[in-house]
Structure 1
Amino acid sequence: MVISVMMLFFALGGSLIGMAEETLAYILILILLAIALGFDVFTGTTIIINRSFDWFTTAVMNPFTVGIAQGIAGLPLFSGITYQILLIIVMYVVGIGVVYKHAMKVKKDRTLGYFGDYQDIILEQILNSSVIFERRHTWVLFCFLLNFIFLAFGVIKFHCYYSDNRSFD
């Protein structure tokens, strides 16, 4: 469950705002979170990279792959959205299946995972630490979600996307 929610979060970033290489900054955070949940470095990394890059390529409202590319091709905005949504669903299900299968293998037998240079003492400190989810964390997450809602509204209602309407004839 936790894996699918984290993967959905980064997938939406790739699909809605074109978040791809920007996700690289989050890899360390997700690696530590994955280790704290009993998974390995590979699981933490693939949660971000698979979803954001897959959904970047099959984006629904990505200003680059939808706004610019469809403008250059002379296609109406959001043409092919049904096909894109179908691709997103298939890629999401397959991606979760692959990552979840690996994560559960590692959770059952830690010797099957890759932990890099983390020593067992550091892993134990991470696994035994506790963090309290406070009200201010809820507000930060709410504002972050609100950003996506405003972005989607702007693209759909006001056609705010990157395009200079040039013709390449």
Structure 2
Amino acid sequence: MQAYYDASALAQHLDSITLLAFDYKNPSRNPQQADYPSPLYSAGGRPINETADAAVKWWTDQGIQGSKIVLGISTYGRTWKLTTESQISGVPPLTAEGPGGEGAQTKTPGLLSYPEICALIPNPNQRATGHLLRRVTDPSKKLGTYAFRLPDSEGEGGIWVAYEDPDIRWG
């Protein structure tokens, strides 16, 4: 980033700086590997510079007051299609075959809105069916939440989606 911004010169003229620290990974950039698109912190051998923490740290290291930084998060999920070659644990990164199917609202392959994701996650008032996803939270609280459904015996219907939800721990 330093090649583009003189952060200390900018800071005196700005009330806030909005960091869009998401979409480091998505099906357009790498359709064959499903992974967290917006990790909070580095973990599991992922690049440290592809995290929300690294983005905030860069600006604060340039002398920007933390109170001027607004961290933008995604309000949608990135999806990939799982195949029979995908690891069965669901733990990323894993082998994928392009973007997951489009949502009824988003109408974009590889993208689901938060309400579309919630409709695929079982809740206590819903009878479990085969089309629902298994939600997995990150116990380390470093990477984020994901949900997945393994493909059937013909290799169809598999999906993996990473998204932010209210259970994530910021700070």
TM-score interval for Structure 1 and Structure 2 normalised by the shorter chain: under 0.3
Q: Give the structure with the higher percent strand.
A: 2
What is the TM-score with the length of structure 2 in the denominator? 0.26
TM-score (norm 1): 0.27
- Flag the structure with higher helix content: 1
**Structure with larger Rg:** 1
